[in-house]
């Protein structure tokens, strides 16, 4: 098991909470808070950390751009686990402050986007500033001479940096959650559990009518359910995009494996990001599978083809 974990810091971030959810044994491991998502990727790529944890997507704001950019570019890393963490925001300030005293608020961009309605009602004239993480906002507010009066962050962060809570539950959506992933250097994926997810990036070979539909067909005709499809610019010019895909199933599953082979034939490139246990491991996808697309169906078809090739008709 890894014993050095890098994560988006400083201490007290939602990412640290996700790390402790993913790896309870991390209490006895070396934890390495990093100043940014790119620093987490760098620590894992250089071998300074055995694994890293970063946010991937939020139920309100969608994908985290820096994480997606790092997964698409640079030396490959694999996703080996995921966790979904409920996100609840609290407004923290130094002792003795009141809501009416707050003129400058610091937080992470995703947190700011999720608390705009509360801020517009209660702090309509406050200046809003974004920093690298919600915990970094709390840490900054706690420093002497801080330019900020308050931070929007997790309760663990505000308490860790000795701040006082002014208002809790200030998020616009009570059910908001963020999905975090564990990253490791390339190697065999975790064994199939029967409740897995496979992530990849597909680069279309050209820009033409039906190119995206052809990509999606590789999954549809094999009964593979997609849980996320997000376009990202390749950086090669305007109008050039790759597609980040999450699919239910494991690369060891016949249907998923065939879909990946199909993508490899029609795409310029396919970057495999990993097969790993889903956070919602109790979900039952069987009722949604099209007819004749179970693992047994694919195995029977493979045996039939093998017989034909061997002359057993």
Which residues are catalytically annotated? 178, 180
Q: Pick from 220, 95, 74: which is nearest to 165 by CA?
A: 95
CB atoms closer than 10 angstroms to residue 308:
10
Burial of 69 (0-12, 13-18, 19+ CB in 10 A): middle
The secondary structure of 81-148, three-state, reads EEEEEECCCEEEECCCCCHHHCCEEEECHHHHHHCHHHHHHHCCCCEEEECCCHHHHHHHHHCCCCCC
Q: What residues contact 169, with CB distance under 8 A and at least 6 apart?
A: 88, 89, 90
């Amino acid at each position: 098991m890894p014993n050095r974990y890098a994560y988006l810091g400083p201490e007290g971030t939602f990412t640290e909470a996700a790390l402790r959810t993913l790896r309870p044994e991390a209490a006895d491991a070396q934890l390495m808070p990093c100043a940014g998502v790119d620093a987490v990727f760098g620590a894992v790529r250089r071998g300074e950390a055995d694994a890293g944890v970063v946010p991937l997507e939020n139920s309100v704001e969608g994908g985290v751009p820096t994480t997606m950019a790092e997964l698409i570019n640079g030396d490959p890393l694999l996703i080996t686990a995921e966790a979904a963490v409920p996100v609840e925001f609290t407004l923290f300030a130094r002792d003795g402050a009141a809501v009416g005293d707050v003129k400058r608020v610091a937080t992470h961009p995703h947190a700011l986007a999720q608390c705009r309605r509360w801020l517009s009602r209660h702090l309509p004239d406050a200046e809003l500033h974004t920093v690298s993480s919600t915990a970094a906002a709390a840490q900054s507010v706690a420093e002497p001479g801080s330019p900020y009066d308050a931070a929007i962050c997790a309760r663990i962060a505000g308490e860790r940096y000795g701040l006082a809570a002014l208002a809790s539950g200030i998020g616009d959506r009570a059910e908001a959650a963020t999905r975090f992933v564990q990253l490791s250097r390339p190697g065999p994926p975790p064994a199939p559990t029967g409740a897995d997810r496979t992530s990849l990036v597909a680069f279309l070979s050209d820009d033409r009518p039906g190119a995206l539909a052809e990509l999606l067909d590789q999954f549809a005709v094999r009964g593979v359910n997609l849980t996320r499809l997000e376009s990202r610019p390749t950086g090669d010019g305007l109008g050039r995009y790759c597609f980040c895909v999450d699919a239910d199933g494991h690369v060891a599953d016949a249907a998923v494996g065939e879909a990946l082979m199909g993508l490899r034939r029609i795409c310029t490139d396919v970057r495999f990001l990993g097969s790993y246990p889903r956070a919602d491991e109790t979900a039952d996808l069987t009722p949604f599978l099209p007819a004749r697309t179970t693992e047994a169906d694919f195995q029977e078809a493979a045996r039939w083809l093998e017989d034909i090739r061997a002359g057993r008709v």
